[in-house]
Amino acid sequence: MLGGSRAESPGVEEGAGMAEAVNLVEKLAQFSDLWSQKKVAALNDYDVKLAKVKGEFVWHTHEDTDELFLVVSGRLTIQLRDGDVVLEPGELYVVPRGVEHCPLAEEETAILLLEPAGTLNTGDVGGPRTKAAENLG
């Protein structure tokens, strides 16, 4: 298995299904820091991550992968160079690989992200806000 990401995922054992359901509301209650992605599950070579966001992030690009944003609560604007996409709870948007974007939330917003394991939050930009996702137990 590449990178062993599935075996390291909460609730996932090698060759087995989920030991129990992942409750997103409970997971979101376990942290309060903003713009810090928390890994809650994995599938194949992808991480399922939660984050709480408020304010503007950084403009960045993921050259090698698409990025899925799903709003759990609040409202998220995905700023794109050719126009914005506004997401309400229950809505998702996939930013295509290579497209520069900048997430923005006027109020605290909870989001779910789906990306290949090891994808950094700032993509190819780097900088002081770059963080690897942390496992959320």
Identify the structural domains of the chain with CATH numbers, from first to last.
5-135 (2.60.120.10)
> Which helix (H) or strand (E) is 80 found in, with range?
strand 76-80
What tens-digit pLDDT sequence spans the chain (137 residues)? 344 444 454 544 444 555 789 999 999 999 999 999 999 999 999 999 999 999 999 999 999 999 999 999 999 999 999 999 999 999 999 999 999 999 999 999 999 999 999 998 878 777 888 888 899 87
Give 50's contacts (C-beta < 8 A, 6+ positions apart): 24, 27, 28, 37, 38, 40, 72, 110, 111, 112, 113, 136
Of 121, 72, 115, 76, the closest CA to residue 96 belongs to 115
Nearest-angstrom CA–CA distance, 4 and 30: 25
Q: Give the 3-state secondary structure of residue 57.
A: coil
Nearest-angstrom CA–CA distance, 86 and 35: 18
Contact by Cβ (8 Å): 93, 77: no
Nearest-angstrom CA–CA distance, 32 and 36: 9
